[in-house]
């Protein structure tokens, strides 16, 4: 009589398939095939140098190695220009099909789902910690170091320790102005920045099923801010519609077994969650926006791989329409990809932003990592829709970064202090 397969979570099923195994269990070391190996203008040069050291003459698949010049581009200085030149020449020499720069570039974790390069059921490794974003599609995405990226680029494989899974169940309808960004801030505020160390965070419940794809990607994007190896949402009809309209390969839709084992399960009443703000200098320092007090803000940033998608710009435009950015505040808006920029232009959002007094940036990670397009001086405060607010993250070590969703960000830009959207847009 054949042995019954152990029940598995989504993360375990994806890793088992890619390891050529019928089943895997947490703690096991597996060699798994990689669907996408991703690098950017900061991390890819290190991987390329390692690849050349070992004398590699080709990559495992010219279509599956993806290189996105999104962090310091358009080049901000000689060093960043040199980095991009190195990657550009490598891409040409090795025939990399999916190399993105110039007018084609977008923020990598918004660009790849949009292009259909990542599909449900994939294993994606990227030399960028927010590769966990792809869990919003039902893929196993995780960040790796540049040396591991080099190995994956050459062999198409990488070893993993199968992570334990945690389940986060959200129930109830969201209040106005609350989005996936608030759900992940709420979770991190609950478990802390190390609360899911090397675990797969699985998000479930009727609240999650009602989320748009943009909100799902934002939610999974910040799983790493809780220390997670990956963040995943079970694919449903929303996922299938989004993926099948774009997919360059056949997706595989996995669901966790009903009796799968989780190291921990937490349940939340999502109807009680308010728009949240993470105060300096950790994403776990969360408070409802109504409780943060009167905090003047010098700069607001709406964008990044967390919240630079069309839904985010739509919310910002709704709040900014007919209003003006405070004279004491700079507002920088960064559409995450050229397609999102074009769609925002078509819908009239860009005109709204300009009339409100915002600065419109081309797609770039830019200020999120203190790269360019909005560096903070000593003593300045920023509220951003980005994902990290560590000391010195966006500039001077004595600056401060507050994290929030696009609705709070837009309202803050108008008021010149951290503000609830209802202060600007009445019911």
Start-to-end C-alpha separation, the chain: 64
Average pLDDT (171-179) is 96
**pLDDT, tens digit, 9 for 90 and up, residues 412-421:** 999 999 999 9
Say what the pLDDT of residue 149 is.
97
- Residue 389: pLDDT band (50, 70, 90) is confident
Residue 366 is predicted with a pLDDT of 86
Instruction: Report the pLDDT value the prediction gives residue 2, as an integer from 0 to 100.
Output: 55
Q: How far is CA 178 from CA 183, 225, 407, in A?
A: 8, 19, 8
Instruction: Read off the pLDDT of residues 118-137 as tens digits, 9 standing for 90 and up.
Output: 999 999 999 999 999 999 99
Residue 14 in tokens: 């994806």
pLDDT of residue 205: 97
| H-assigned helices in 139-289 | 146-155, 180-191, 206-209, 213-221, 237-244
What pLDDT, on the 0 to 100 scale, is given for residue 107?
95
pLDDT digits 0-9 by tens, 314-339: 999 999 999 999 999 999 999 999 99
Distances (CA, A) of 228 to 107, 130, 195, 223: 21, 10, 8, 5
The span from the CA of 200 to the CA of 196, in Å, is: 7
Interacting residues of 82 by C-beta distance below 8 A, sequence separation 6+: none
The dihedrals phi and psi of 401, each to the nearest 5 degrees, come to -125, 130
- Cα–Cα distances (Å) from 345 to 72, 246, 338, 360, 411, in that order, read 24, 22, 10, 11, 21
pLDDT tens-place string over residues 204-216: 999 999 999 999 9
Question: Could you identify the residue written with the tokens 């003006």?
Answer: 324
| DSSP secondary structure code for residue 275 in this structure | P
How far is Cα 254 from Cα 256, in angstroms, rounded to an integer?
A: 7
| Dist. CA 288–CA 34, nearest whole Å | 40
Average model confidence (pLDDT) across the chain:
95
Model confidence over 328-373: pLDDT tens digits?
Answer: 999 999 999 999 999 999 999 999 999 999 999 999 988 878 888 8
Is residue 239 pLDDT above 80, yes or no? yes
**Beta carbons of 144 and 152 less than 8 angstroms apart:** yes
Question: What average pLDDT score do residues 250-264 get?
Answer: 96
Q: Are 219 and 183 in contact (CB under 8 A)?
A: yes
Q: With contact defined as beta carbons under 8 Å apart, do 292 and 403 qualify?
A: no
Q: What is the DSSP letter of 325?
A: -
| pTM to 2 decimal places | 0.94
- What are the start-end ranges of the E strands in 69-118? 98-100
At residue 394 the predicted structure's pLDDT band, cuts being 50, 70 and 90, is confident
The answer, yes or no, to whether residue 72 has pLDDT greater than 60, is: yes
Per the CB < 8 A criterion, the answer to whether 11 and 163 are in contact is yes
> For residue 282, what is the DSSP state?
-
pLDDT reported for residue 427: 63
As a whole number of angstroms, the distance between CA 319 and CA 321 comes to: 6
pLDDT, tens only, 95-111: 999 999 999 999 999 99
Contact status, residue 278 vs residue 389, Cβ threshold 8 Å: yes
* Percent of the chain residues past pLDDT 70, beyond the cut: 99
The domains found in the chain, sorted by start residue, are: 10-160 (3.30.499.10), 164-249+262-272 (3.30.499.10), 276-423 (3.30.499.10)
Our measurement of the distance from residue 97's CA atom to the centroid of its chain's CA atoms, rounded to an integer in Å, reads: 23
For residues 239-243, average pLDDT = 97
Burial class (CB in 10 A: 0-12, 13-18, 19+), 71: buried
Q: Mean pLDDT over residues 139-145, rounded?
A: 96
């Amino acid at each position: 009589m054949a042995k019954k397969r152990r029940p598995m979570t989504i993360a375990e099923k994806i890793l088992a398939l890619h390891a050529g195994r019928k089943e895997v269990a947490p703690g096991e070391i597996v060699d798994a095939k990689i669907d996408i190996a991703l690098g950017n203008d900061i991390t890819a040069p290190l991987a390329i140098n390692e690849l050349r050291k070992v004398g590699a003459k080709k990559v495992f698949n010219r279509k599956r190695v993806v290189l996105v010049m999104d962090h310091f581009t358009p080049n901000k200085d000689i060093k960043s220009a040199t980095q991009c030149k190195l990657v550009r020449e490598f891409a040409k020499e090795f025939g990399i099909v999916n190399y993105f720069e110039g007018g084609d570039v977008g923020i990598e974790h918004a660009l790849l789902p949009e292009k259909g390069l990542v599909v449900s059921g994939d294993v994606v490794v990227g030399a960028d910690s927010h590769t966990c974003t792809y869990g919003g599609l039902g893929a196993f995405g995780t960040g790796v170091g540049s040396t591991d990226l080099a190995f994956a680029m050459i062999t198409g494989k990488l070893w993993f320790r199968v992570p334990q899974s945690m389940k986060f169940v959200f129930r109830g309808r969201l209040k106005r102005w609350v989005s996936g960004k608030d759900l992940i801030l709420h979770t991190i505020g609950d478990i802390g920045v190390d609360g899911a160390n090397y675990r797969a965070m699985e998000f479930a419940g009727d609240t999650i099923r009602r989320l748009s794809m943009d909100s799902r990607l934002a939610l999974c994007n910040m799983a790493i801010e809780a220390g997670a190896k990956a963040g995943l949402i079970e694919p449903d009809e929303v996922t299938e519609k989004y993926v099948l309209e774009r997919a360059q390969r056949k997706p595989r839709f996995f669901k966790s077994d009903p009796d799968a084992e989780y190291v921990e399960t937490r349940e939340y009443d999502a109807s009680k969650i308010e728009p949240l703000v993470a105060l300096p200098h950790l994403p776990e320092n969360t408070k409802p926006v109504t409780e943060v007090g009167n905090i003047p803000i010098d700069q607001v940033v709406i964008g990044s791989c967390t919240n630079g998608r069309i839904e985010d710009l739509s919310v910002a435009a709704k709040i900014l329409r007919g209003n003006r950015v405070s004279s004491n505040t700079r507002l920088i808006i960064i559409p995450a990809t050229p397609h999102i920029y074009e769609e925002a232009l078509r819908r009239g959002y860009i005109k709204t932003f300009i009339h409100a007094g915002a600065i419109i940036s081309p797609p770039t990670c830019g200020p999120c990592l203190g790269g360019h397009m909005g560096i903070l001086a000593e003593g300045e405060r920023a509220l951003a829709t980005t994902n990290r607010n560590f000391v010195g993250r966006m500039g001077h070590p004595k600056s401060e970064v507050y994290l929030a969703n696009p609705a709070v960000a837009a309202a803050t830009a108008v008021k010149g202090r951290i503000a609830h959207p209802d202060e600007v847009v009445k019911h």
